[in-house]
Amino acid sequence: MKTIDELLSEGVAGKRVFVRADLNVPLDGTTITDDGRIRAVLPTVKALAGAGARVVVASHLGRPKGAPDPAFSLAPAAARLGELLGADVAFAEDTVGPSAESVVAALADGGVAVVENLRFNAGETAKDDAERAAFADKLAGLADVYVGDGFGAVHRKHASVFDLPKRLPHYAGYLIATEVGVLKKLTDDVQRPYVVALGGAKVSDKLAVIDQLLGKADRLLIGGGMAYTFLKAKGHEVGISLLQEDQIPAVKEYIERAEKSGVELVLPVDVLVATEFPDLKTKAPAHPATVAADAIPADQEGLDIGPETRKLYASKLADAATVFWNGPMGVFEHPDYAEGTKAVAQALVDAPGFTVVGGGDSAAAVRTLGFDENAFGHISTGGGASLEYLEGKTLPGLAALED
């Protein structure tokens, strides 16, 4: 995989460089609530612009249905990129139409432009190879060189991620190079003890990575909504907690495998429960109760790990040489259910080894709860991509850059 440093050494002044970024930031209307992904691409954009390239930044945002939708416009992200760069950033109101063509044509050396949401074009996400290829051909007309730096999208076989690099000289940006280097530390060169903390809503989203980690991790800590399927598989009552009944057989198998392989599988010993899900808009007090994990009332829902589990998980992370964390421990968006996620985050800060926050909601939680990002070894920009890499899958966006 060629890197941006090789591109810069070859010279980029006057060249149109297409940067496939990941500007898929959370929005409240037109207000960005977490600009972490924009900040993550800054080193690549600054380096290219500083070397005189004409930088064309492209990304998706949300899941529009292959047509323009103002709710998913990249205009706020373009504006924020300009603020962070301290420079004007032009914005094209389409991706491959007349606005994009004129905006790119008007770029001066060192200039930066953002084109509108790639997913406003059906060809970006098309399953049909020919339709994706046709869109990639149009994108290629905007640039002379391709730099892949949208790690959060490399697990998608999309036109701008998979097909476009084949049409242009292609290089990995700083973010992707960093992300891949970190993931290799979690797979090829692991320092032990290796502890993995997994949370989030659905156990089905994590089964494949658990399957891989049972042969690599020393400890697996389970929290979040997915924990209740594990507790049910152990024969415990889980009340009205989030539960995937169809996954219980697979979970039982993994529990048995963990015991046989010597992997310590750690489940909650107590949880916070309530009769209804909290109001995340008003943040009204929820008044949860703490109960033992094997004694959840039939009419109650588990919404966070309890105080004893927080202590337990912190102790299991205290001597870790390598930590990977993906998925919150509870409904961290509400203050009454944020303490479990906060405790795990703090345990990563306190751990002596290399700590990785695996993107998605985990990265959002770290920022929402006020942690210093520099206190962690690495905060990934791609939760799904990180998980699929750890599962051993070939990621289309990385494969395209390696050709």
**Cα 51 → chain centroid:** 29
83 is in an annotated binding site: no
User: Of 15, 16, 37, 219, which is the active-site residue?
Assistant: 37
Which are the contacts of 318, defined by CB distance < 8 A and separation ≥ 6? Answer: 347, 350, 351
62 is in an annotated binding site: yes
User: Of 80, 138, 185, 202, which is the active-site residue?
Assistant: 202
Q: Are strands 264-266 and 378-379 parallel, antiparallel or unpaired?
A: unpaired
Residue 107 identity = L
384 is catalytic: yes
37 is in an annotated binding site: yes
Residue 50, exposed/middle/buried by CB under 10 A (0-12, 13-18, 19+)?
A: exposed
d(CA 56, CA 385): 23
User: Of 152, 360, 383, 397, which is the active-site residue?
Assistant: 360
What is the total residue count of the chain? Answer: 403
202 is catalytic: yes
119 is in an annotated binding site: yes
167 is in an annotated binding site: no
279 is in an annotated binding site: no
219 is in an annotated binding site: no
User: Of 150, 358, 384, 397, which is the active-site residue?
Assistant: 384
- Beta strand extents in 268-374 (DSSP E only): 270-274, 289-292, 301-305, 322-326, 354-357
235 is catalytic: no
59 is in an annotated binding site: no
Which stretch of DSSP H or E encloses residue 368? helix 360-368
121 is in an annotated binding site: no
63 is in an annotated binding site: yes
367 is in an annotated binding site: no
131 is in an annotated binding site: no
360 is catalytic: yes
Q: Judge whether 47 and 5 are in contact, CB under 8 Å.
A: no
Find the helix packing angle between 339-350 and 307-317, rounded to 10°: 20
Catalytic residue numbers, as ranges: 37, 202, 360, 384
Annotated binding residues, written as ranges, equal 22-24, 37, 60-63, 119, 156, 206, 302, 333, 359-362
Binding site for substrate, residues?
Answer: 22-24, 37, 60-63, 119, 156
> Which residues are annotated binding-site positions for (2R)-3-phosphoglycerate?
37, 119, 156
From the annotation, which residues make up the binding site for ATP?
206, 302, 333, 359-362
